[in-house]
Amino acid sequence: MNKTSRSSKVLFFGMDGATWRILKPMMAQGRLPHLQRLCDSGASGILQSIEPMVSPAIWTSIASGKTPDKHGVWDFVVSSKSVRCKRVWDMASQSGWRVGLCGYMVTWPPPELNGFVIPGSFSRGPETHPASLQAIRELDMTQRSDNRRSLFTAMQRAWQCHRLGVRPSSFADAALTLVRTRAQRDYLEKFYHMRRIGFEAYADVFVRQVQHFQTQLSMYVFTLVDSTSHNYWKFMEPEASASSVEPREIQKHRSKIYQAYEAVDRMIGRTLRRLEVSLPARHEEGNTNVIIVSDHGFQSVPEAQGRPPDRTVRILPEALVELLHWEAAAVRTFNIRGATFFRHRQEDSFQIEKMRSDLSAIRVVNPSAPFFDVSLDPYGNIEIALNAALGELKGLQVKLPEGQIIAAEKIVAGDIGAISGDHHPEGVFIAAGPDIRRGYALQNASVLDVTPTLLALMDLPIGQDMDGRVLTEIFKPDFLSASPIRHIDTWEEPNWSYEEDNASADEALKENLRSLGYL
């Protein structure tokens, strides 16, 4: 299963949280010329996500073609050693492809692939492969966890990243931004700019390492759009906000999400130029297929909850765990798309049923009614949402399973905090290159289809045990003639080992999750 001379290179961008809802109007206005050109030159359409819409789980499904019950990734506190199956880079590296990964979730600790690995969001350590790339991770982790560090230390580490590939213009921009935001007390003003300069630095290092290692499968995943959409949606759509927004704040922050998309478009155009990737016009040219996907789309929090803006709430999962006397170390919890999910770490069916029963037993005192709608998905996740029939929460009292009566505000906040954007199930798929049909409108595609399609583009076989399909409709007929789709039973091996990750989120990771509304 070695790489054939017929196979083109693959350049993959993971645009976490991107939505056509913003892309299409911006393209129509001419504000995203590079993304527009990719759409015109190739195939594009909606990429359907999977539930629960937890980014590490979805990105692992994207990279494996398998559902979470097979790959074992459910939430944010997870390591690469706990993934229960091979991912596309394992398959490619095993087949002789040189692989480069930057920013991909659940790649820490980094696997020793034939190429380089710079782990992505929610990693718990700075390690990279090779270790010589570690400075970029150290700078990122220091920036997020220690706001009191000296400016000199930050600049010193930034200079180390310059040696890894950060362009002089990016270095100067970062230095100026650090100086300007040093004394900035406006969290929202600082948040976007710090995320943007990190995104630019990672992109620069990614390009330099692709050039250095001459990788054939090169993947860069970034969260700039996702994190910006979580925090600034209410300024873009103040009429859909769950809380009043000051006109002065709207004026200051309304364009932040659009700026994030424009920054991504510039980065993609710059990367294509620096890697000398040419897109087909009327004739075939170049040897690189470009793939862009998002794990989910975006919407306002009231839309996600299906409640009017003035009735939007925020469930407090950590308070529920404490009040229900659950063992905190045994329970994973996260907020996604207007609901809260609980998962028992050991997947103990008895404990899962007890947790479901406890949550179902929480009732409004007067008039008596269930406080939560509680359901169990096929994977053992307990999902709760506020009973849709309930109105005003102020003054409402609820009874816990053991009879204790508390104010509803102890477990459900009557506001959504700083987060105003949430996940939507319709993501983005764009593909262009010598093997991709021009101007094709893709339909009925899923995040599970990405790895089978990547394997086909690399002329590698697709595992019969994968849950996705090859998007053959986007391929040119001559590509399918020269590289017929092949299958094998599985890419897995009997001796493939994984370790259950029983670690808990540290305070730095918890703060990162809170900043995105997941806790």
Beta bridge partners of 288: 9
Torsion on CA atoms 47, 50, 56, 61, rounded to nearest 10: -70
pTM greater than the 0.85 cutoff: yes
pLDDT band at 1 (very low <50, low <70, confident <90, very high): very low
Are 68 and 85 in contact by the 8 Å Cβ rule? The answer is no
| Helix residue ranges per DSSP H, 328-421 | 349-360
Q: Is the pLDDT of residue 337 over 80?
A: no
Q: Could you give the CA distance from residue 114 to residue 218 in angstroms, rounded to a whole number?
A: 12
Residues sharing a CB contact under 8 Å with residue 168, sequence separation 6 or more, in sequence order: 162
> Residue 386: enclosing H or E segment and its boundaries?
strand 382-386
Please say whether the dihedral angle defined by the alpha carbons of residues 401, 408, 75 and 68, taken in this order, is positive or negative. Answer: positive
The residue count of the chain comes to 519
Neighbours of 108 (CB within 10 A): 24
Q: What pLDDT score does 108 carry?
A: 95
Q: Which two tokens stand for residue 90?
A: 């394992």
Report the distance separating Cα 372 and Cα 255, nearest Å: 36
Rounded to the nearest 10°, the torsion over CA 342, 344, 348, 353 is -20
CA 133 – CA 117 distance, rounded (Å): 9
Q: How far apart are CA 421 and CA 303, in angstroms?
A: 9
Query: What are the tens digits of pLDDT across the range 425-464?
Result: 999 999 999 999 999 999 999 999 999 999 999 999 999 9
CB 371 within 8 A of CB 386: yes
Provide the token pair at 52.
Answer: 């629960």
pLDDT at residue 52, as a whole number: 86
Q: How far is CA 100 from the centre of its chain?
A: 18
Q: At residue 212, what is the residue type?
A: H
pLDDT digits (tens, 9 = 90+) for 338-393: 678 998 888 888 999 999 999 999 999 988 999 999 999 888 899 998 888 887 78
Question: Do β-strands 405-407 and 397-399 pair in parallel, antiparallel, or remain unpaired?
Answer: antiparallel
Whose CA is closest to 231, among 254, 251, 262, 247?
254
Whole-angstrom Cα distance, residue 364 to residue 269?
Answer: 55
- Dist CA 431 CA 86 (whole Å): 24
